[in-house]
Amino acid sequence: MPELKTRIREFRAKTGMTQGELADRVDVRRETIIRLEKGLYNPSLKLAMDIAAVFGTTVEMLFSFSGDSAE
Amino acid sequence: MKQPIQKLSYRRLYFRHALVGLFMAAIWGGYYALDKLTEGSRILIRFLAFALMIAAVFVTMTFFLVNAARRDREDELARENIAKTNSGFIRFLAFAGFVLFMVCTCFVGKPQKITVEIHYAWIASVIYLFFAVYYFIAMYYEAKTEAQCAGEEQDDA
């Protein structure tokens, strides 16, 4: 089964945003952001789009499945 | 300036809710005991016993509401854990029903020397025990979530 990979940490580092700040911006708990970054959680489409909107990027740039050509 | 309310993690919140369930079960058990002890006693003594129980319920429910007000935001991860808890609790109920059925079938056709009194206080006590079990199951799933987030203590940038 393909594994979900995220670039949230990379985007956070670029924008200097903490996990807590990102969690507040998209109205989730910090634990949710941590699990997302560790690839332990598949977000809903709404959450994925909200996070992409915070970083001014697209869902495809933030999330990918291992083995995708976009990686 | 007013200090913001300190949020409680879901694991702690569910643990406290489970404690509330256990306390309420104990209160109803205690009420049954008091009711039996004060049977035939003067009305003042029975009134005091009832007032003591009401006070205990008031304190416990206040504790419950104060903690509920401090819970962290309910996001999709919390809802996912609630769904797992509901599933786990239904399995527990099915198991408890099965055990009760098996125990009852052991007494079918045999002369009964033990009588079981079904008092409303015992029913209330059992309901609150199930309430406690539900929140212990919820606490288990939240503890698993927290364990997966271990090692990220500092809010890093």
What residue spans define the domains of chain B?
A: 10-147
Residue of A34, A45, A50, A55 to mutate when probing chain B, most B C-beta within 10 A: A34
Q: Has this prediction a pTM greater than 0.95?
A: no
A52 is in which domain, residue-wise? 4-62
- Rounded to 10°, the helix B120-148/A30-37 angle is 50
Is B117 strand, coil or helix? coil
What's the pLDDT score for residue B104? 82
- What are the start-end ranges of the E strands in A8-67? 63-65
Whether residue A68 is contained in a domain is answered as no
Cα gap B66→B61, rounded to integer Å: 9
Which tops the pLDDT comparison, B63 or B36? B63
Does A47 contact chain B (CB < 8 Å)?
yes
pLDDT in tens, A28-61: 999 899 999 988 888 999 999 999 999 999 999 9
Q: Please report residues of B whose CB lies closer than 8 A to that of A17.
A: 157
Reading the block at residue B79, the tokens are 């809802």
* Residue contact A29–B148, C-beta within 8 A: no
Residues making up chain B, counted from first to last: 157
Whether residue A45 is contained in a domain is answered as yes
- In whole angstroms, how far apart are CA B42 and each of B37, B54, B117, B121? 12, 19, 24, 21
| Nearest CB to B157; choose among A18, A38, A43 | A18
Residue of A11, A21, A24, A31 to mutate when probing chain B, most B C-beta within 10 A: A31
The number of domains in chain A is 1
| CATH number of the domain within which A24 lies | 1.10.260.40
| Half-sphere exposure of residue A46: CA atoms within 13 angstroms, side-chain side | 5
Return the DSSP state at B41.
S
Is A2 strand, coil or helix? coil
Whether residue A56 is contained in a domain is answered as yes
Whether residue A42 is contained in a domain is answered as yes
Task: Please say if the pLDDT value at position A19 is more than 60.
Answer: yes
- Contacts of B124-128 with CB under 8 Å at 24 or more apart are B124/B24, B124/B28, B125/B24, B125/B25, B125/B26, B125/B28, B125/B29, B125/B32, B126/B25, B128/B21, B128/B22, B128/B24, B128/B25, B128/B28
Q: What is the ipTM of this complex?
A: 0.76
pLDDT in tens, B87-112: 999 999 999 999 988 888 877 766 66
Q: Please report residues of A whose CB lies closer than 8 A to that of B73.
A: 27-29
- Sign of the Cα torsion B13, B18, B20, B23 reads negative
Whether residue A67 is contained in a domain is answered as no
